[in-house]
Amino acid sequence: MKLPKGFAGSAVRAGLRKKPGLDVALLVAPDGANAAAVFTKNLFQAAPVTLSRAALKKSRGRVQAVVVNAGCANAVTGAAGDAAARRVQELAAELAGCPREEVFVASTGVIGVVLPDDKVRAFLPDAFARLSAGGLEAVSRAILTTDAAPKVARATFRHGEGSCQVVGFAKGAGMIHPNMATMLAFVTTDAAATPSLLAGALKEAVDESFNAISVDGDTSTNDTVLLLASGKAAGPELKTMDEAAAFRAALAKVCGELAWRIVRDGEGARRVMEITIEGAASEREAKLAAHAVATSSLVKTALYGGDPNWGRILAAIGRSGARVSTGKVSLNAGSVVLVKDGAPTAYREEQAAKVFARERVPLVANLGVGKGRARLLAADLGHEYVSENADYRS
């Protein structure tokens, strides 16, 4: 798989991570690209987040180069961290031949350590020399931390007399929860689109994908989703949401696939539960219920064991703050009806166990009080998660 027209990528090893491997990714649009981004809502926002947000505003949604490092989050690092991120941005701008505000920087890794930017800057010229349209595989690997494998997705859509591509890559396996998490995602398209259209389409796609997943209930300091449009494909510039329906569908597909891969790759995860809450008093209350189920250690450990212990699910919903009609509530696991009108049904345990043994476990709870609805993907919780995070800095 290659990057869309108008983009080139490369990656180098700068020695930032504990284990050997690529750790600095470079994504360039030689002629520039219109851009939009969504960032973490964590109050402790990393230096690259604050710097890139300001740069994107100053450039009015134009980006020419993206520098991403793994192995160091450069978060909660004060003035020293800000200066380190800025030095990387300045050198990249010099090498790309563009204004500093058209360079977007991102980081992921351990919090509380200042980025050793001298290592990054030492290898940036080499990264620029290695740029190619076939650099997608390298950049998708260079941004990983505890991920088991790269996460890449692609979709095409018809536009004008031809077709356009949407290609994205992402990282994330732990610290994943709505309002994003310790994840980065970069989505590129060769379609022409205004920054305002990109912003609207990205928010829509993120709300249904990256902001609807959970691994462990934690959100991080560095989360970023960046959308870039080179405009190198044929077709008129997309300006409104109505005329961009095909693009929005392709973007949603790519973001949805990347989000699924993040949850499935949750540290030590065996299974993913697809939680749908229906019949809530409002969308907000549906989300409250879904989040309670997604973050319940009891539910997640039962899921890890493939145990259809549905009482834990209703108990989580009952403490979520969402209103529930206890006499009308229902709960289904796939085609198996576990609870109806507030009471257990005469289902067969082995049928329920088969559903809970799947890689993807569909759960639908109807709270019986309204029309609010929400959907969330969540990973299980097992021994491997504890081992991975107990030794993360060791």
Q: Is residue 1 part of a domain?
A: no
59 and 207 in a single domain? The answer is yes
219 and 93 in a single domain? The answer is yes
Residues annotated as catalytic are 182
242 and 287 in a single domain? The answer is no
pLDDT of residue 175: 47
Task: Quote the CA–CA distance of 182 and 193 in Å, as a whole number.
Answer: 28
45 and 112 in a single domain? The answer is yes
Q: Which of 264, 287, 309 is the last residue of a domain?
A: 264
Task: Quote the CA–CA distance of 342 and 367 in Å, as a whole number.
Answer: 10
pLDDT of residue 268: 58
pLDDT tens digits in sequence order for the chain, 394 residues long: 899 999 999 999 999 987 889 999 999 999 999 999 999 888 888 999 999 999 999 999 999 999 999 999 999 999 999 999 999 999 999 999 999 999 999 999 888 999 999 999 999 999 999 999 899 999 999 998 777 788 899 999 999 888 999 999 998 754 444 554 447 899 999 999 999 999 999 999 998 888 888 765 555 677 889 999 999 998 899 999 999 999 999 999 999 999 888 887 666 567 888 999 999 999 999 999 998 998 888 998 888 889 999 999 999 999 999 999 999 999 999 999 999 999 999 999 999 999 999 989 999 999 999 999 999 988 887 656 565 555 554 3
Q: Is residue 12 part of a domain?
A: yes
Q: Which of 240, 264, 288 is the last residue of a domain?
A: 264
260 and 280 in a single domain? The answer is no
For residue 301, give its domain range.
272-390
The CATH number of the domain holding residue 219 is: 3.60.70.12
135 and 63 in a single domain? The answer is yes
Entry pTM: 0.84
202 and 348 in a single domain? The answer is no
Q: Which of 233, 264, 295 is the last residue of a domain?
A: 264
The CATH number of the domain holding residue 278 is: 3.10.20.340
214 and 310 in a single domain? The answer is no
Q: Is residue 2 part of a domain?
A: no
Structural domains counted in the chain: 2
298 and 363 in a single domain? The answer is yes
Q: Is residue 3 part of a domain?
A: no
62 and 209 in a single domain? The answer is yes
279 and 250 in a single domain? The answer is no
229 and 281 in a single domain? The answer is no
181-222 pLDDT per residue, tens: 447 899 999 999 999 999 999 999 998 888 888 765 555 677
